[in-house]
Structure 1
Amino acid sequence: MLKKLAVISLAAGALVLCAPVAASAAPSDSAPLIAHSYAEPPDVTVDHPVIDRCEVSSIVFGAGFFDPGEDVSVGISGSNAAGASYSGNVADDTGALALTFRPPADGDARYAVSLDGSRSYTAQITVSHGQDAAASCDHDPAVAAGLARTGGGVSPWMIGGGAMALLAGGVLVTAAARRPGHH
């Protein structure tokens, strides 16, 4: 009985852990591509469209928005726009891009950050002077932004699978400890 329980627990755990892999599998290279599909265009998100002075905002473009490796030109307009800075204007191998914008130290305004490459996009970012704003903006936006955002995260399937594996292991240890003849 204990062996059957162990086999069933391991099989269930393997299925739970394999489900995210199968659900996110990409089509093979031999799969036919549809030239004009009705799929949504690649995602664009503006993390923190309203920021304090000296904080950063990121404009993140999904895979395929730009050409792979494309050097995208960036234009910034708004109050004292010449004092603003940015980093990350080269698309990766999939055409994704994460641009980090830092307003000027005295910038309390609305800024238009325009990106122009194989596609164009303009993001609106509002900057205000909040209570926690820094007095000086002597930071590199690439360092302040940290690692690039990949869109990944912890899957609930992985958490559930781990919980199930722990539970199954606890049951097996308890059953083995209570079995007559073991001390």
Structure 2
Amino acid sequence: MGLKWPNDIHTSDGRKLGGILVEGHGADGVLVGIGLNLRGPVRDAGGAEVPGAAWLLGPGSLTGRVDTPAAVEQLRRALAGQLLAGVLREVRILGSTGGDARESGTLDRYTVTCLTLGRRVQVEPLGATSTPVAPSGASGTAQAIDDRGRLVLRTAEGALVSVDVGDVRHGPRESGRHATMRNAGEGAEGPTR
């Protein structure tokens, strides 16, 4: 299990288990939302099963367990408490370094869990529905996460391109290697500090 850049929680086989959203509110406020699929199968607004979704409990789940509503509620509360404690701990650590992701270790902790690194990827503009890369999108091998949290791609031409936002489609891992750079202080535009 790990993170698909930038904010999806995925199983090792690529199924989406949840997501993380972070929204800034002024200079001193941040709203963090985390969603996890507890029961399944996961369905869309029209009632159709969502392809590629994963869930923790129920038939076809990661655990295989089918629990009572009371047990599901107990798990939900326990997970919420643990997630809150973890987010608060991470915010305190990051805050102690003035928001420096590298100095606080946040960048390393994210990079270690990032399932995108070392993969061929296509990045499409947010909301795009086609599978080919849009003309304004980028494709390449995910090399690193830079100090600003951007995904650094190596294009087929060998150039480094930093991506701020987009829908990422994973392709296969590069054969025989993981990311060539664990994290980077430089992207396509040069130093990010």
Q: TM-score, normalised by structure 1?
A: 0.26
Q: Which has the higher contact order (CA 8 A, sep 6+)?
A: 1
Give the strand-richer structure, 1 or 2.
2
